A = this chain, B = another copy of it.
Amino acid sequence: MKNTFGNNITVTLFGESHMDSIGAVLDGIPAGIKIDTDFIKNQLSKRRPHKNISTSRVEIDEFDIISGVYNDFTTGSPICIIIKNGDKNSNDYNELESKPRPSHADYSAFCKYGKYGVLPGGGHFSGRITAPLVAVGAIAISVLNGMGIKIASHLKRIGNIEDDDFFDFEDNINKLNSLDFPVINESIGLKMQEKIKSIKADNDSIGGIVETLVLGMPSGVGEPWFDSVESLLSHALFSIPSIKAVEFGLGFGFADLTGFDANDSFEIIDGKVLTKTNNNGGINGGITNGNPLMFRVAVKPTPSIQKEQDTVDLDKMSNCKLTIKGRHDPCIAHRVGVVIDSVAAITLLDLLAEKYGTEGIKNAIRTDREDIKA
């Protein structure tokens, strides 16, 4: 099950960066869901490089839904979306066949596959493969939205510049989903963009932290032990290239706290059981408790930098220098939020399917959502 993930709702990925096309298969979506191709386009545009602060590789991301959708409605069969690879300069990669880029997948790919798995543009390891993941993820997000569940991510931190915390959840989510550079405080966002530009000017790259909020998840979803919400979400999140840390609620912040300070006390407000704080990020015992889900991931600085670095020549088995050519991102933290939303949505929809079944998911779509319900 290397490139397939999920139980009832599954996603399968395929494709290499510099071959003809890449794609993903989303399986298990109930029949009769209306597909909004504009929403898919919009999600893909959020993942696309941003002028000035991203790679200059232009990815048009024209996608074809080649199965599973007929006359704009899902058929219940697997949905395959294909995206053509356009603007690619494989020549930039000739040198890399024998000289692995530090902190990139080149060397470990070589250890696993030999020279056959070390391909121009990173092949199957390329962040480019997240494009079809975002395309099928958009469908999962649509279905969640129809069920009253919303999701958005913001750049919590780039270098040492930090965005504000979520404060007005519903509003924050709506606003973030409309932004190309998703921050809560836009003036901080401008500083982050300046930071990225200066890092780019220095031929270097920078890491960051992305924080995600999910509103509206019903309580009682997930399992103790191996299918805990944290287990499944982290499984999906760590699949995204460059993500090296995942924390839920206070996460590492729990280490220094006492139970008395960290525990989320219960209280009843308007006849509903709520917690006074949400330090556990909406999950206890692996199961949702009705609070918003909140998690953060760390994104490492893009390993492909244009400064000279030390590496080795695997053919000659000697030390050497490497200056990476090609067009690369000085930061991907601002592009990865939509990928995070996508894999999280697929994972949460799968967990909901366990509880409610594909039938239940379809029935849970609010009847006023004519945009997605047949």
Contacts and interface: CB of A to CB of B under 8 A. Distances in A.
B226 A1 contact: yes
A223 to B, nearest CB: 5
The 10 closest A-B pairs by CB, nearest first: A105-B285, A357-B357, A111-B220, A245-B247, A31-B113, A205-B259, A77-B124, A245-B251, A108-B287, A112-B220
Count the copies. Answer: 4
A157 interface: yes
B32 A12 contact: no
A20 interface: yes
Nearest to A105: B285
Interface in A1-58: 1-8, 10, 12-16, 19-23, 25, 27-28, 30-32
A263 B106 CA distance: 13
Given A14-B77, A129-B225, A287-B109, A258 B301 contact: yes
A279 B8 CA distance: 30
B1 A7 contact: yes
Contacts of A284: 103-108
Contact-residue size bin, chain A (C-beta under 8 Å from the other chain):
35 or more
A341 to B, nearest CB: 17
Given A25-B25, A257-B301, A263-B301, 13 more contacts: A1-B4, A2-B28, A3-B78, A16-B70, A70-B123, A77-B224, A102-B263, A112-B219, A207-B254, A254-B300, A265-B310, A267-B312, A355-B359
B290 A256 contact: no
Given A77-B14, A220-B112, A303-B263, A125 B227 contact: no
A239 interface: yes
A349 interface: no
A160 interface: yes
Interface stretch (A146-154, A167-175, A179-187, A229-237): A229-237
B113 A75 contact: yes
Contacts of A276: 310
B254 A299 contact: yes
Contacts of A245: 245-248, 251-252, 254
A20 B68 CA distance: 11
Given A103-B259, A245-B246, A265 B311 contact: yes
Contact of A80 (B15, B28, B67, B280): B15
Interface in A261-297: 262-268, 271, 273, 275-276, 279-281, 283-290
A323 to B, nearest CB: 12
